[in-house]
C-alpha cells in the first residue's frame, strides 16, 4: 500500500505545482501590452534629461502604473470570459496595487501625477466591481462609457498633461513612454 502511495506522490506534486502555477500565473507586462494591443515604449532613465533622482522616482511611478495595467488587462479578460471567480481574485489584487500607490515615496513634483493615476485605478476598480455585481445578478449589456471609466480616463489624461508640462525637455522616447504607460492603463 505504501508503495502505491509513493508512486502517486510525484504525480500529485506535479498536479499541485501545475495548478498552483496556473492559478498564481500573472500576465507579464509584454503580454498585457500585446493583449490590448498597444505600443510599448519603456522609460529609459539612463537617457533621461532629468536628474538621476527625478528619473528614478519617475521610473518607480511608471513601473507601478504597468503593474496596474497588467491587472486591468487580466481583470477585463476575466470579465469578458465570464470567469467571475478569477475576476473576484483579480479585484482583490487591486487593494495591493492601490496600497502600493498610497505608500509609494515619490518626489513632491510627482505627487499630483501619482494621485491622478491612483484615482484612475480606483475608478477602474469601482467599474469592475460594478460589472461583477451586474454579471452575478443579470446579463446587462457592457458599457465602457460609464462615469467611472470616463473619469478614470480623464485622470490619466491629466496625469499625462502634467508629466509633459513638468518635463518639457525630456527625451522624445521618454515623452512617448509617458503616453504609452498611461494610455495602456486606460480603458478607453
Domain count, the chain: 1
Query: What pLDDT does residue 175 have?
Result: 97
Report if residue 71 sits inside a domain.
yes
Buried b (16+ CB within 10 A) or exposed e, 112-144: ebbbbbbbbbbbbbbbbbebbeeeeeeeeeeee
pLDDT level of residue 132 (50, 70, 90 thresholds): confident
What's the pTM? 0.81
Residue 83 predicted with pLDDT over 50: yes
Query: What pLDDT does residue 33 have?
Result: 93
Domain containing 134: what range?
28-185
| CA 188 – CA 153 distance, rounded (Å) | 7
Report if residue 9 sits inside a domain.
no
Report if residue 20 sits inside a domain.
no
Q: What value does the mean pLDDT take over residues 139-162?
A: 82
Tens of pLDDT along 7-44?
Answer: 333 333 333 332 333 334 579 999 999 999 889 999 99
Query: What pLDDT does residue 139 have?
Result: 46
Report if residue 144 sits inside a domain.
yes
Query: What pLDDT does residue 28 have?
Result: 94
Amino acid at each position: 500500500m505504501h508503495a502505491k502511495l509513493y508512486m502517486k506522490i510525484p504525480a500529485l506534486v506535479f498536479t499541485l505545482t501545475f495548478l498552483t502555477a496556473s492559478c498564481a500565473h500573472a500576465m507579464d507586462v509584454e503580454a498585457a501590452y500585446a493583449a490590448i494591443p498597444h505600443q510599448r515604449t519603456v522609460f529609459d532613465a539612463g537617457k533621461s534629461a532629468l536628474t538621476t533622482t527625478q528619473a528614478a522616482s519617475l521610473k518607480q511611478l511608471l513601473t507601478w502604473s504597468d503593474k496596474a495595467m497588467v491587472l486591468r488587462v487580466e481583470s477585463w479578460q476575466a470579465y469578458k470570459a465570464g470567469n467571475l471567480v478569477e475576476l473576484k481574485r483579480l479585484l482583490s489584487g487591486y487593494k495591493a496595487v492601490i496600497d502600493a500607490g498610497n505608500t509609494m515615496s515619490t518626489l513632491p513634483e510627482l505627487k499630483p501625477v501619482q494621485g491622478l493615476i491612483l484615482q484612475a485605478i480606483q475608478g477602474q476598480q469601482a467599474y469592475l466591481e460594478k460589472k461583477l455585481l451586474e454579471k452575478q445578478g443579470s446579463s446587462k449589456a457592457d458599457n465602457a462609457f460609464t462615469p467611472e471609466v470616463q473619469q478614470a480616463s480623464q485622470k490619466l489624461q491629466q496625469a499625462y498633461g502634467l508629466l509633459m508640462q513638468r518635463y518639457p525637455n525630456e527625451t522624445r522616447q521618454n515623452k512617448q513612454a509617458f503616453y504609452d504607460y498611461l494610455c495602456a492603463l486606460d480603458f478607453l
